[in-house]
Amino acid sequence: MPITPEELSTSQRVKYYLSNQVIRGITASLSLLPYPQRIAMMGRLVRFLGPVVGYHKRIRTNLALTQPELSAQEVKDLCRKVCDNVGRSLGEFFAGQPFWDRAKQAKITGPGFEPFKKARAEGRPIMIVTAHFGNYDAARSKLIQEGYNLGPLYRRMANPYFNADYVKSLNATGTPTFEQGKKGMVEMVRYLKKGGTIAIVTDLHAIGGTYIDFMGHPASTSLVPAELALKYNALMVPIYAVRQDNGLDFEIVMKEPVPHSDALEMTTHLCRDLEQEIQTHKDQWFWIHRRWK
């Protein structure tokens, strides 16, 4: 994956530059609107673009594989709702302070918060594990504003121009941040060993991962988070930022910490946990990803 524009061909450079300028133009224009209208508009925009950019096709493919019992109308509704949530999440990510203010108001629930606070007080390493669900960055923003600093592991974007803006917004919420790759992994492990808290998204296809049943079908899944938790005796807590009915607020749900056993069993536990959240809030998971390859 290219790191700088210089690594691209001329045609790629032009394509990526122009596409990022379009994104910048849209976000700049919408920033003139009051925050609630801005986020709603981003949702509507991605709903409109969903069929054009292939989101609807991907959503339908994934639902046909894992949720064949859904009616045609239910699938149609999910295509619309999933795209709306994706659009809102994108708008929130680049919104800055108004989004942070909303995240700060979120209520933290679930049995995992007390063990999390206890581990922090003891200086124990912690791994916050989440998914592309609701708006996962709301959970990070909430915890940081509560005084619980944490460092996320992120995947570099293919478009280097967009990636620069993405990383800038990521760092604006809080640091440190760790880019997926050898250097980032070394930095993240060093931070974890010192008793830090890291955040990892675990629901994407993992190249070279282990195939684990996920929603009835094998999906390549990384065992590395569980292996790190075992190696450094880190508390592993699943967390989800559940979007509320008004489309703007969140509930931060911290689930029961994953019992330490072996990496495969712990990772399977995470898959089952995410399945439960998806079944409860089908429209909040990012069905646009190629989870099953």
| 163-222 pLDDT, tens digit each | 999 999 999 999 999 999 999 999 999 999 999 999 999 999 999 999 999 999 999 999
Tokens describing residue 12: 């790629």
pLDDT on residue 279: 95
Question: What's residue 6's pLDDT?
Answer: 72
pTM: 0.93
Q: What is the pLDDT of residue 14?
A: 86
Residues of the chain predicted below pLDDT 70: 1-3
E strands, the chain, are: 107-109, 126-130, 151-154, 178-179, 197-201, 210-214, 217-221, 235-243, 250-254
Residue-range domain boundaries for the chain: 5-284
Predicted confidence at residue 3, as pLDDT, reads 66
pLDDT at 2: 53
CB of 228 within 8 A of CB of 238?
A: no
